[in-house]
Amino acid sequence: MSRRSTSRCFAALASLLLVAVLPGAATAAPGAPPPLPFVSQLDLSCYRTEGYKPPPTELTLKHLNPVLGDLPVETVKLGERQQLCVPVAKNGAIPPPGIVDYVRWVDLSCYRIEGRAVDFPLTLSHLNPVVQKLGIQDSHVTMLSPEQLCVPVAKNGKLPPPEILSFVRHIDLACYTLRVLGIPTIPFPLTLGHLNPVLADRPKVDVKVGNARQLCVPVAKRGDEIPPEVLGTVQWLDLAKADISTAPSVVGPVTLKLTHLNPVLSHFPSEAAVITEPVQLGLPVAKNGKIPPRE
């Protein structure tokens, strides 16, 4: 090899090393799990956590799901925290390898917001295989006003691996109150077990699931640049949040430290949250028969 060729090789190697180690250096585009395999396996158990108010913040939200793409951009004020929603498995059915690696790190902290009613009629169909096997019928609903914004957090300083963090940090859901039309759903039983490592030692909980009270749909906050690979999946993440009832627990409350992951809110201070028993369960749904792509 000539001296000139050798110099070029060393220069190229040096450039690669700089990219790898310098803060803010360009990195490869983050990956993402395929839409339907991920969305259909994401179930979130939501705990009441009142008492914390974040710094005064206005956020401009844009809808991502194709069914709601024509709804206008809206600016909201972030109110007090109301819930923490964490990933669970139902009836012992653990998401498959490669999917559970992402699902177990989706922790969302939900804050009160207010906005105008959209009065959008929808038909919701369950996507999770466990619920589908129970024969739960489609729900005919009207999406009304936004009530909550749920944003990604980490618990007790336990961050997802970098390749997972680059995906889950962009999951933001705006939760709208629902008017349920027709015959109410008959409550059905499920057993919930925690997936996130921080809560993995918590016992399983038997719950009865009632009617959906909210529909949580994917949005983007102004200032959050979502990579195309990530957007291709998170735009399909719709969760119908239903009230659940549980038997009284003998397990005591858990105190958690929450750290914001989304780039727009990463400057927020960490928050303390105490959880006891879940009050709602977010179940993945499709809207108006528009099923997420398999790949």
HEC string of the chain equals CCHHHHHHHHHHHHHHHHHHHCCCCCCCCCCCCCHHHHHCCCEEEEEEEEEECCCCCEEEEEECCHHHCCCCCEEEECCCEEEEEEEEEECCECCCCCCHHHHCCCCEEEEECCCCCCCEEEEEEECCHHHHHCCCCCEEEEEEEEEEEEEEEEECCECCCHHHHHHHCCCCEEEEEEEEECCCCCCEEEEEEECCHHHCCCCCEEEEEEEEEEEEEEEEECCCCCCHHHHHHHCCCCEEEEEEEECCCCCCCEEEEEEECCHHHCCCCCEEEEECCEEEEEEEEEECCECCCCC
Higher pLDDT, 180 or 46: 46
> Per-domain residue ranges for the chain?
28-287
Q: How many residues does the chain have?
A: 295
Tokens 């499920």 correspond to 190
pLDDT in tens, 154-167: 999 999 999 999 99
pLDDT in tens, 68-79: 989 999 999 999
- What pLDDT does 250 receive? 58
pLDDT confidence bin for 247, thresholds 50/70/90: confident
Higher pLDDT, 181 or 267: 267
By CB atoms closer than 10 A (0-12, 13-18, 19+), residue 176 is buried
pLDDT in tens, 94-103: 999 999 999 9
Tokens 């889950």 correspond to 168
pTM of the model: 0.88
- What pLDDT does 252 receive? 78
pLDDT at 274 over 60: yes
Whose CA is closest to 209, among 191, 229, 195? 191
**Tokens coding 165:** 């963090």
pLDDT at 6 over 90: no
Q: 180 has which bridge partners?
A: 141
- What pLDDT does 26 receive? 28
Q: What is the average pLDDT score of the chain?
A: 88
- What pLDDT does 249 receive? 67
pLDDT at 5 over 50: no
- Percent of the chain beyond pLDDT 90? 78
- Nearest 5°: CA angle at 67, between 138 and 88? 55
Please compute, for residue 192, the number of CA atoms within 13 A of its CA located in the half-sphere on the CB side. Answer: 31
- What pLDDT does 85 receive? 98
Whose CA is closest to 82, among 280, 285, 284? 280
In single-letter form, the type of residue at position 274 comes to: V
Q: What is the largest CA-CA distance in the chain?
A: 80
Mean pLDDT, range 37-62, rounded to an integer:
95
